[in-house]
Amino acid sequence: MMLIINFLLFISLFFAPPAHPVHVALTSIEYRNENREFNVAFKIFWDDLEKVIAEKYNVGLKLAKSDKNPEEEKLLDKYIGENFRFVVNEDREIQLVYDHKKINETAIWLYFKGSWSGPVQKVYIYNTVMMDMFGDQTDLVIFKYGTFERGILLNTKHYEINLKLK
């Protein structure tokens, strides 16, 4: 019950006004057997993502505006690639490919896909998305493979996950 309450409180932070006092993100990793791929989605406050891109790459993005920077997709893909690793069965890193994005008033969803076929016994996840910018960053990672599902909170001190599925 306490996990549900904490989860609801965590998610409610995404519905805060644009000037937010906390730094939270959500990462969803789900295997789609029919496509033989993992779908990975990142939900991040878009103003925070603009700040980290400007700081790291010296490029000003306006993610909520319709006038898109031609380098936007490449920069978003590069940033996620530098801060997120996903390894299956200790030896196969899933290569994520940028798929698309969705933006609302406060957050951006970045969608990626990575091919995989075969059983999954172990998973390693390294996730420092936004943690290089904000010392108080927290990320809820939800991993789903078949009937196996886990939610894990990450922060700047705990940013790696090892899961044993079987």
Q: pLDDT tens, 49-87?
A: 999 999 999 888 888 776 677 788 899 999 999 999 999
Count other C-beta atoms under 10 Å from residue 5's C-beta.
9
Percent above pLDDT 90 for the chain: 69
Strand partners, 141: 27, 152
Count other C-beta atoms under 10 Å from residue 30's C-beta.
14
User: Residue 12's pLDDT band (boundaries 50, 70, 90)?
Assistant: low
Q: pLDDT tens, 119-134?
A: 999 999 999 999 998 8
| 96-132 b/e (C-beta count within 10 Å ≥ 16 → b) | bebeebeeeebbbbbbbbbebeeebeebebebbbbbe
User: Does 27 have pLDDT greater than 80?
Assistant: yes
User: Residue 13's pLDDT band (boundaries 50, 70, 90)?
Assistant: low
5-19, 32-46, 91-105 — which is least confidently predicted?
5-19
Interatomic CA distance for residues 143 and 27, integer angstroms: 8
Q: Provide the pLDDT for residue 41.
A: 98
Q: Provide the pLDDT for residue 139.
A: 96
Reduced to 3 states (helix: H, G, I; strand: E, B; else coil), residue 111 is: strand
| Rounded alpha-carbon distances, angstroms, from residue 85 to 8, 54, 94 | 27, 22, 8
Amino acid at 42: F
**Whole-prediction pTM:** 0.85
